[in-house]
Amino acid sequence: MPSHAGTQPTDALITAERLNRVYHRPRTSLTRPGAAVHALRDVSLTVRRGERHGIVGESGSGKSTLLRLLCALDQPTSGSIRFDGQEITGRPERRLRFLRENLQIVFQDPMSSLDPRMRVRDLVAEPLTALGLPVGDRVAELLDAVGLPAEAAGRYPHQFSGGQRQRIAIARALAPRPKVLVADEPVSALDVSVRGQILNLLADLVDELGLTLVFVSHDLSVVRHVCETVSVMRQGEIVEGGLVDDVWAEPAHPYTRELLAAVPTLEGFA
Ligand SMILES: Nc1ncnc2c1ncn2[C@@H]1O[C@H](COP(=O)(O)OP(=O)(O)OP(=O)(O)O)[C@@H](O)[C@H]1O
Ligand SMILES: [Mg+2]
């Protein structure tokens, strides 16, 4: 569903307002405090139900910081985030159940996001057991949905290729039937030859399940492949945003033009 002007505010699923996040580097001198890093500056963002929103920007622009705040894995220094109408900032973990059930994350590197000592069956079931939800036939269903054979359930992450491990991570994220999938550079650690397959899988699943997607990448051509809207980040600020095809065709900000000039176009898939 494209985001369009005139949409009712109730369509907003995630609303972030004036987010700031200041990190304090460890002090390296007895006389001076550690340097402050202003990772986000007054960032406001709305993601509507069913929207596939990309966040693009160079390394260090604040993409992962913003994503961690949206997932309540970190707290902003100031600002507000509402998920489905409920404020999530400042809440203790025990009051974030609605968010944990409805928003799941796929990280960049499946090798470090999947516990190597756990079998795939348990990895995929873990979000369900953690939330006290029944597992039933869900693991088999999910492995099938991500294109892995049923026998994968009994194996360990190291017995799979990088692309297959990211399929496991996607199956795991989908386990509690979330409304929102959040992905932080989900293909950049993968071999170039499998990136397209994993992006296509993600796009197909988001489509079939009617999910809302928040997708971070440093590469606008990757964002364009899976998202309809985009925010461009630079030095902790959103400098440009809108429909990804418009930004791609006519970038308004010089920084976006630089980003576009720097990215190789994706090959191997339409
Ligand atoms: N835990 C932290 N402590 C101190 N500084 C941090 C911390 N996390 C991030 N930063 C700093 O905040 C800024 C934004 O970092 P962030 O990881 O959000 O960028 P990014 O856009 O995700 O970059 P990349 O594309 O490299 O993943 C950077 O200057 C980074 O060094
Ligand atoms: Mg990052």
Give the residue whose CA is nearest to atom 24 of ligand 1. Answer: 59
Determine whether 20 is exposed, middle or buried from the number of CB atoms within 10 Å of its CB (0-12, 13-18, 19+).
middle
Please, which residues have CB within 8 angstroms of residue 146's CB and are 6 or more apart in sequence?
167, 168, 170, 171, 174, 201, 205
Between CA 87 and CA 89 the distance in angstroms is: 6
Number of domains the chain contains: 1
39 C-beta closer than 6 A to ligand 1: yes
Ion ligand 2: residues, CB within 5 A, are 64
Give the residue whose CA is nearest to atom 22 of ligand 1. Answer: 64
**Could you tell me if 154 and 161 are in contact, meaning their C-beta atoms sit under 8 angstroms apart?**
no
Strand partners, 103: 180
- Tell me if 126 is assigned to some domain: no
Structure tokens at 99: 């968010």
pLDDT, tens digit, for every residue of 224-260?
999 999 999 999 999 999 999 999 999 999 999 988 8
3-state SS class at 240 = strand
Phi-psi region of 233 (alpha: psi -120 to 50; beta: other; left: phi over 0): beta
65 C-beta closer than 6 A to ligand 1: yes
- Tell me if 117 is assigned to some domain: no
Residue 220 maps to which CATH number?
3.40.50.300
Between CA 37 and CA 24 the distance in angstroms is: 6
pLDDT, tens digit, for every residue of 84-122?
999 999 999 999 999 999 999 999 987 888 999 999 999
Structure tokens at 52: 């596939």
- The answer, yes or no, to whether residue 1 has pLDDT greater than 70, is no
Q: Which pLDDT score is estimated for 112? A: 83
pLDDT, tens digit, for every residue of 133-157?
999 999 999 999 999 999 999 999 9
Q: Which pLDDT score is estimated for 262? A: 75
- Tell me if 121 is assigned to some domain: no
Q: Could you list the residue range(s) of the whole structural domain that residue 235 is in?
A: 12-26+36-108+180-262
**Residue-wise burial string across 141-158, b where 16 or more C-beta atoms lie within 10 A, e elsewhere:** ebbebbebeeebbebebe
Q: Which pLDDT score is estimated for 104? A: 97
Please, which residues have CB within 8 angstroms of residue 28's CB and are 6 or more apart in sequence?
34
Structure tokens at 18: 């004036």
Handedness of CA 112, 117, 123, 125 (dihedral sign): negative
63 C-beta closer than 6 A to ligand 1: yes
- Tell me if 173 is assigned to some domain: no
- Tell me if 164 is assigned to some domain: no
156 C-beta closer than 6 A to ligand 1: no
In the block, tokens 């088999």 appear at 140
- Tell me if 149 is assigned to some domain: no
Please, which residues have CB within 8 angstroms of residue 139's CB and are 6 or more apart in sequence?
120, 121, 124, 125, 153, 171
Determine whether 24 is exposed, middle or buried from the number of CB atoms within 10 Å of its CB (0-12, 13-18, 19+).
exposed
- Tell me if 125 is assigned to some domain: no
Which CA distances in Å does 180 have to 5, 101, 183, 215, 268? 22, 9, 10, 11, 28
59 C-beta closer than 6 A to ligand 1: yes
* Nearest ligand, measured from the Cα of 65: 1
- Tell me if 69 is assigned to some domain: yes
- The answer, yes or no, to whether residue 7 has pLDDT greater than 70, is no
pLDDT band for position 10 (50/70/90)?
low
